[in-house]
């Protein structure tokens, strides 16, 4: 509820409501925390199960993570910044800040695909503007990755894989 709504509901001055919230309830007005996206409970459960599987594999084989190559695709966007005042809300000292996903349109947009292992970044590909990321494009990216892994980790390719 806003201060105005509380003041109207109990018929007192807005300044008095603000003082009570701040002084008596130790609340302050803060901005929402911006996160890339909000996960559903199902998505959180899937991530939790995947992490448990990785931990199990690591316990069974301590070198397991040494052979893992993973990938992340990230959009790099230019946003028109929103005013922090638009997301302010009242919170008590023990309560967490609200989260809010960024919603504004970007003027510039570029995708980067990065592959890395436990030692660091192996390969980076920038998706050209207008390029559709499909199986043909990914085949080329994975071919480039394969060559980088071969150069970086020759011990993995002793059997000619």
Query: What average pLDDT does the segment 117-136 reach?
Result: 88
Closest CA relative to residue 68, chosen from 149, 129, 6: 149
Pick the more confident residue, 65 or 157: 65
Task: List 20's β-bridge partners, or say none.
Answer: none
Query: What average pLDDT does the segment 42-68 reach?
Result: 91
128 inside domain? yes
Cα Dmax for the chain: 81
Neighbours of 115 (CB within 10 A): 19
Closest CA relative to residue 111, chosen from 132, 82, 135: 132
19 inside domain? no
Query: What average pLDDT does the segment 58-73 reach?
Result: 88
Is residue 59 packed enough to be buried (19+ CB in 10 Å), middle (13-18) or exposed (0-12)?
exposed
pLDDT of residue 13: 94
51 inside domain? yes
Closest CA relative to residue 67, chosen from 118, 4, 132, 104: 118
23 inside domain? no
Task: List 27's β-bridge partners, or say none.
Answer: 92
1 inside domain? no
Q: Which domain holds residue 73?
A: 31-156
Q: How many residues does the chain have?
A: 161
Q: Give φ, ψ of 104 to 5 degrees.
A: -70, 155
pLDDT of residue 45: 97
Which of 31-40, 70-79, 95-104, 138-147 comes out lowest in average pLDDT?
Answer: 95-104
User: How many structural domains compose the chain?
Assistant: 1
54 inside domain? yes
Token output for 155: 């011990």
Closest CA relative to residue 103, chosen from 35, 43, 41: 35
pLDDT of residue 102: 60
pLDDT of residue 157: 55
**3-state class (DSSP) for residue 23:** helix
7 inside domain? no
Residue 51 has pLDDT above 90, yes or no: yes
Question: What is the CA angle 69-71-77, rounded to 5?
Answer: 155
Closest CA relative to residue 117, chosen from 155, 89, 91: 155
Which of 36-40, 76-80, 93-97 comes out lowest in average pLDDT?
Answer: 76-80
**pTM for the model:** 0.47
Neighbours of 22 (CB within 10 A): 13
């Amino acid at each position: 509820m806003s201060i105005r709504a509380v003041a109207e509901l109990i018929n007192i001055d807005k300044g008095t409501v603000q003082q009570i919230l701040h002084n008596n309830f130790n609340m302050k007005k803060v901005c929402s925390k911006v996160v890339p996206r909000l996960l559903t409970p199902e998505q959180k459960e899937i991530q939790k199960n995947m992490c448990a599987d990785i931990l199990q594999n690591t316990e069974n084989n301590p070198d397991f993570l040494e052979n893992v190559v993973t990938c992340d695709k990230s959009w790099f966007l230019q946003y028109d910044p929103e005013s922090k005042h638009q997301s302010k809300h009242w919170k008590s000292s023990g309560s967490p800040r609200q989260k809010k996903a960024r919603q504004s349109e970007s003027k510039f947009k570029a995708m980067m695909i990065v592959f890395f292992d436990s030692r660091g970044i192996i390969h980076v590909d920038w998706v050209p503007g207008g390029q559709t990321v499909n199986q043909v494009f990914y085949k080329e990216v994975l071919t480039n990755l394969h060559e980088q892994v071969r150069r970086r980790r020759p011990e993995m390719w002793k059997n000619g894989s």
